[in-house]
Amino acid sequence: MRLTRRDMLKLGIAVGGATVLPGGRLLADGGGQSGGLGSSPRTTPFVVELLPGRGIPPVAQPVAPFPTLPDPGNCVNVDGSTAFHVHGPRVVPANTEFFLMHERPVEHSFHPQLPPNVLWGYDGSIPGPTFIAKIGTPNLVRFVNDLPENDPVGIGEPITAIHRHGGFQAPEDDGYPIDTFCTGQSRDYLYPNILEGDLAQNAESTNWYHDHAIDITSMNVYRGLAGFYLFQTAIDTMNENDPPPALGLPSGEFDIGLVLQDRLFNEDGFLVYDSFDHNGFLGDKFLVNGIIQPFLRVARRKYRFRFLNGSSARVYQLFLSNGQPFVAIGKDSNLLEHPVTVKSFRLAPAERVEVVVDFSHSSLKDEIFLVNRLDQTDGRKPNGLVSPGTPLMKFVVSSNAADPSRVPDDLVLVTEGPEQLLPQVKVQRHFKFERSDGAWVINGDFFDENRISAKPRLGEPEIWILESGGGWVHPVHIHLSEFFLLSRDGVPLSPIERSRNDTVLIGGAGVGEAVKLLIRFNMFTGRYVFHCHNIEHEDMRMMAQFEVQP
Amino acid sequence: MSGGTAGDGTRPTVAAAPVVAAGLVLLIAFAAGCSEHPAGGEAQPPASRVAGAPGPPDRVALIRDQHLPNVELTTQEGRKVRFYDDLVKGKVVAINFMFATCRKACPAATQNLAEVQDALGDRMGRDVTLLSISLDPERDTPEVLRGYAQAHGAKPGWYFLTGKRDDIELLRRKLGAYELDPVLDADKTQHAGIVILGNEPRGRWKAIAALSKPVRIRQAIERTILPVTEWPTGEAVVNEAPYEESEASKRLVEPADLSGLPLRD
């Protein structure tokens, strides 16, 4: 199928560099909203191809083992606090793989029609290098802060903490928001890569790592500090040629992480961030893996796409322009129990949805667009579905290729789910995420590292109710453990989120004001945070912590 | 437990040198009265753009033009001042919105700022300027605000400001102290209770809830917006707020309560 100009207009695909929205409204390539800061310059969509080294980040490579260091304890955060978890050198098992990752400035091209911008990247890569961990092999990652102390751009502060989002790791390795390291310092993170609760069902699939420093996370992530952290497991071997019981999902060059972000630029093409907007920052340029509206050449076969919403506040509802469905296979950190075929799916900030898209029914030269049809003009909530929406990237069917990959009907066997755990529940907790006097609170409180809001006991499942109010949506992320979503207030659960999640959107139409979830914390005791992942809200302290009790 | 001690009982061995070095770089920038890009960007890779092409935006100018309108205001002493030229330019400021008859969040917020003022000691007025802008400018005359300031023990360096309603509306929007919901936004008793913190010459701005603990507001001011030479060393202010535990969220449930929950298939 080749699109005519009329088709493209129907789809809202940029014609001559602008997008036609319903009602004839014309927006510079992509639409969206930019608050009071004007709009970005026009860019021609789909001119940059995603290729290894340009949008497809390198795989992080292990280095020779090195002696681990004690944690720095004297990096002063923007609120005057210093690290809480200050531990001695990590003691690592003999089979640990070591990695060295420098946070440093890098000149990055978002688009050839814009000048290069100086971003901050893990190892200078946008997105950061992709880690591929093996279950059973711990990783010791030393992150080194080589960011300038006196940065002329002024977006971000060179104070960093690393959170492996969705990861199962000790409190001192979780990127607890005040556990920071400053320019010239480093911090060693030990990721055990073990099965949570020794349960095969808890083998993880797609984590991501990003900055988590108190009060400044939004700016530091906006500046580039984010990357994928993937897992090779007993069944998800990341090799499509492996025979069962390996799943045989599309692998190698056919397994691609795609992080969706929005950005705003000034008239000269330089990145803009509004530090006066606490509602949630929205850009009017749509990036996939750091490139504005790129294209990807694909072969006529199945692909595994790991979608990540790396935006501050924007929620997406994704469709394929040819009406083809997605076969969803994963939500957040885990694979689903069974694949689910969906026409579209919602992706709130920090959520991941893994899908398989089969291009074998397409013809060579077909062009298929990934389209976001959710309109959003402020950080409060999306406005609703629009037609045709905004194309985020283009798939160009370019070649034929063998396809030994499979999508089995059974992906993960959940042996300890709600059926087994609900009868054990003795504690229910209720957290209200509210707007209060111009800021955002959880149960009336702003985050304070000296306040513990819940003390769940190790291994004892609990029900948590997360409730929003006042017409705001909040993507809530709970650290340490994935949870089973049990119900949404008056709204059916989507088939994708009926399995495990580490982030859930609450509040607003179509989402329900409150969700009920089942969570159990295993193996690690200590302090972890949970918070709104609209990062401006998080930075305004819409965050609380629980302390897992032995 | 304070966060300053190592978990294994030993002090961390990483020296404070990087923080000190940061201080020197910024100190130079401040000594030069920098409203331009500081010279200390040595870690910046060389720009590969053609000569004469526009460079990255001057963040200080950008913020001035987009967020700091130079409207005329009147202080509690009856002095006419310009918001940008006289109150913000070259300064470290903490800004909130209030009005004298407000009975909801304002008294607590003003009380918090008064505690911050006292904690700042002789830095008030010299290193930090507090700006409290009235949302009820017709009733909050300079005389009313002078009485309010005195009642809260305001010292030199804390300005209570009134002016034309339109100018104050403009300020409120530009500084991000508004509600997206127009009904809430029109209700000044629901006004955004945030303190906007800015280091104008550095181009660094953030906000913190006005009802945060005063120690948080003071620490945020000290670390975020004071000149680097005035930054706390960390240990003096480490996690000093009292430890709190609340399990208010918790309710014990009987397993029978759960029978109504939908099970997944």
Those residues whose C-beta lies under 8 Å from the C-beta of residue B185, and which sit 6 or more positions away, are B178, B179
A269 contacts A39 by C-beta, under 8 angstroms: no
Ranges of residues in chain A whose predicted pLDDT is under 50: 1-35
- Give the whole-angstrom CA distance, residue B249 versus residue A205: 32
A427 contacts A456 by C-beta, under 8 angstroms: yes
pLDDT level of residue B50 (50, 70, 90 thresholds): low
A427/B251 touch (CB, cutoff 8 Å), yes or no: yes
**Which residue is closest to B241 within chain A, CA to CA?**
A450
A451 contacts A417 by C-beta, under 8 angstroms: no
Residue with tokens 């009265």: B33
pLDDT digits (tens, 9 = 90+) for B175-226: 998 888 888 888 877 666 899 999 898 888 888 888 887 877 877 777 665 5
pLDDT of residue B48: 44
Q: List Cα–Cα distances, A419 to A66, A318, A376, B261, B262, in angstroms.
A: 45, 32, 38, 11, 10
Q: How many CB atoms lie within 10 A of CB A94?
A: 6
Return the bridge partners of B12, or none: none
End-to-end CA distance of chain B: 46
User: How big is chain B by its Cα radius of gyration, in Å?
Assistant: 23
pLDDT of residue A252: 97
Give the minimum alpha-carbon distance from B265 to chain A in angstroms, rounded to a whole number: 9
pTM of full prediction above 0.90: no
Give the minimum alpha-carbon distance from B144 to chain A in angstroms, rounded to a whole number: 24
For residue A183, give the nearest of B5, B7, B22 by CB distance. Answer: B22
Q: Is the pLDDT of residue B108 over 70?
A: yes
DSSP one-letter code for A63 = B
Sign of CA dihedral A347, A193, A224, A50: negative
For residue A86, give the nearest of B5, B67, B247 by CB distance. Answer: B5
- Give the whole-angstrom CA distance, residue A320 versus residue A395: 10
A80/B180 touch (CB, cutoff 8 Å), yes or no: no
pLDDT of residue A45: 97
**Which residue is closest to A446 within chain B, CA to CA?**
B212
- Give the whole-angstrom CA distance, residue B82 versus residue B89: 10
Q: Pairing mode, if any, of strands A128-134 and A226-232?
A: parallel
Mean pLDDT (chain B) is 73
- Give the whole-angstrom CA distance, residue B240 versus residue B2: 8
Structure tokens at A196: 């949570």
- Give the whole-angstrom CA distance, residue A274 versus residue A438: 17
pLDDT digits (tens, 9 = 90+) for B19-38: 333 333 333 333 333 333 33
The answer to whether A545 contacts chain B (CB < 8 Å) is no
A437/B11 touch (CB, cutoff 8 Å), yes or no: no
Torsion angle of C-alpha atoms A503, A504, A508, A514, degrees rounded to 10: -130
pLDDT of residue A485: 95
Which chain A residues in 103-122 lie under 8 Å from chain B, judged by CB atoms? Answer: 104-107, 115-118
pLDDT digits (tens, 9 = 90+) for B144-170: 999 999 999 999 999 999 999 999 999
pLDDT of residue A1: 41
End-to-end CA distance of chain A: 60
Q: A498-502 long-range CB contacts below 8 Å, 24 or more apart?
A: A498/B264, A499/A331, A499/A334, A499/A336, A499/A337, A499/A412, A499/A414, A500/A331, A500/A332, A500/A333, A500/A334, A501/A331, A501/A332, A501/A351, A502/A165, A502/A166, A502/A332, A502/A333, A502/A477, A502/A478
Those residues whose C-beta lies under 8 Å from the C-beta of residue A287, and which sit 6 or more positions away, are A110, A260, A261, A262, A263
Question: Taking Cα atoms as reference points, which of A170, A100, A269, A329 lies closest to residue B7?
Answer: A170
Q: Is the pLDDT of residue B239 over 80?
A: no
Q: Which residues of B touch A541 (CB under 8 A)?
A: 208-209, 212
Those residues whose C-beta lies under 8 Å from the C-beta of residue A379, and which sit 6 or more positions away, are A277, A279, A280, A281, A282, A312, A313, A534, A536, A537, B180
pLDDT of residue B227: 55
B249/A516 touch (CB, cutoff 8 Å), yes or no: no
B250/A72 touch (CB, cutoff 8 Å), yes or no: no
Q: Which residues of A touch B188 (CB under 8 A)?
A: none
Three-class SS of residue A387?
strand
pLDDT level of residue B52 (50, 70, 90 thresholds): low
DSSP one-letter code for A99 = E
- Helical segments of chain B, H only: 17-31, 59-67, 106-120, 142-151, 165-174, 182-186, 214-220
Strand extents, DSSP E, A233-333: 255-265, 271-272, 285-288, 291-292, 295-300, 302-309, 316-320, 326-331
Those residues whose C-beta lies under 8 Å from the C-beta of residue B44, and which sit 6 or more positions away, are A105, A118, A148, A151, A152
pLDDT of residue A499: 85
pLDDT of residue B224: 60
Return the bridge partners of B131, or none: B95, B159
Q: Which residues of A touch B169 (CB under 8 A)?
A: none
Return the bridge partners of B97, or none: B133
A88/B7 touch (CB, cutoff 8 Å), yes or no: yes
Q: Which residues of B touch A72 (CB under 8 A)?
A: 12, 14
Q: List Cα–Cα distances, B197 to A27, A89, B106, in angstroms.
A: 34, 37, 17
Average pLDDT of B117-128? 84
Those residues whose C-beta lies under 8 Å from the C-beta of residue B151, and which sit 6 or more positions away, are none
* Stretch (H or E) spanning A528: strand A526-532
- Give the whole-angstrom CA distance, residue A210 versus residue A226: 4
pLDDT of residue B171: 96
A150/B234 touch (CB, cutoff 8 Å), yes or no: no
Q: Is the pLDDT of residue B264 over 70?
A: no
B56/A178 touch (CB, cutoff 8 Å), yes or no: no
DSSP one-letter code for B185 = H
Q: How many CB atoms lie within 10 A of CB A267?
A: 12
A183/B255 touch (CB, cutoff 8 Å), yes or no: no
Question: Taking Cα atoms as reference points, which of A223, A157, A216, A177 lies closest to residue B26?
Answer: A157
The answer to whether A484 contacts chain B (CB < 8 Å) is yes
